[in-house]
Amino acid sequence: MKPLEKCRMKCKEKITDNNRKSIFKEYWALGSYDKRVAYCASLINVLPKATERKRSSDDKKKKNRSLTFKYNLEMQGARIAVCKKCFINTLDETDKFITSTVGKKMKTIGGSTYSDRRGRHVPPHKTDEKKLIEIRKHIHSIP
C-alpha cells in the first residue's frame, strides 16, 4: 500500500493509516476479480459535470468531459469522500483498473457491473474428449 500525498481534499487527515490498512485487507480478502470490480464500482459515483463555462465558438477549444467521478471509501458504515489518488493508493489498484471499472458501470443500465467473461469459452482447436479416449486406448493396446 502506497503512502498518501498531500491533496486538495485533505485525505491524510480524514483517514488514518490503520483505517487504510483495514480497508486494504478487507478489499483484497474479497478474492475474485468480479467481486473487486463490484466493490470499486459501488464506491464510485458518476455524476454530470456541475458547471460549464461558456467558451468561444471554436470547436477545437471545446472540452470533451461531460461527467464527474466522485470516489469514496467506506469506513465503519460511513462513506468518506477521497481523491482518486487516495482511492487508488489505498486499494493498491491501477488507474487502468479503475477506468475499466467505471466503463463497465456506465455500460449497464442499473449501474452494476457485469461478470468477467475471460476463460468461459471452449478453445477452437481443442481435441474432442472421445478422440482422446480412443487415442489412449490405442496407445495402451500397443505391447
Residues 3-54 have pLDDT tens digits of: 888 889 999 999 999 999 999 999 999 988 989 999 999 999 999 888 877 7
* 87-to-92, 102, 130 alpha-carbon distances in Å: 8, 13, 51
Residues 95-119 have pLDDT tens digits of: 999 999 998 888 877 766 777 778 8
pLDDT of residue 113: 73
**CB-based contact 11:82 (threshold 8 Å):** yes
Closest CA to 127 of 137, 135, 119, 139: 135
Neighbours of 65 (CB within 10 A): 7
The position carrying cell 487508488 is 88
Closest CA to 71 of 45, 102, 99: 45
Rounded to a whole number, what is the distance in angstroms from the first to the last CA of the chain? 60
Q: Is the pLDDT of residue 59 over 80?
A: no
Q: Is the pLDDT of residue 69 over 90?
A: yes
**CB-based contact 43:71 (threshold 8 Å):** yes
Provide the percentage of residues in the chain whose pLDDT is more than 90.
57
* In the chain, where the domains are located: 1-53+64-116
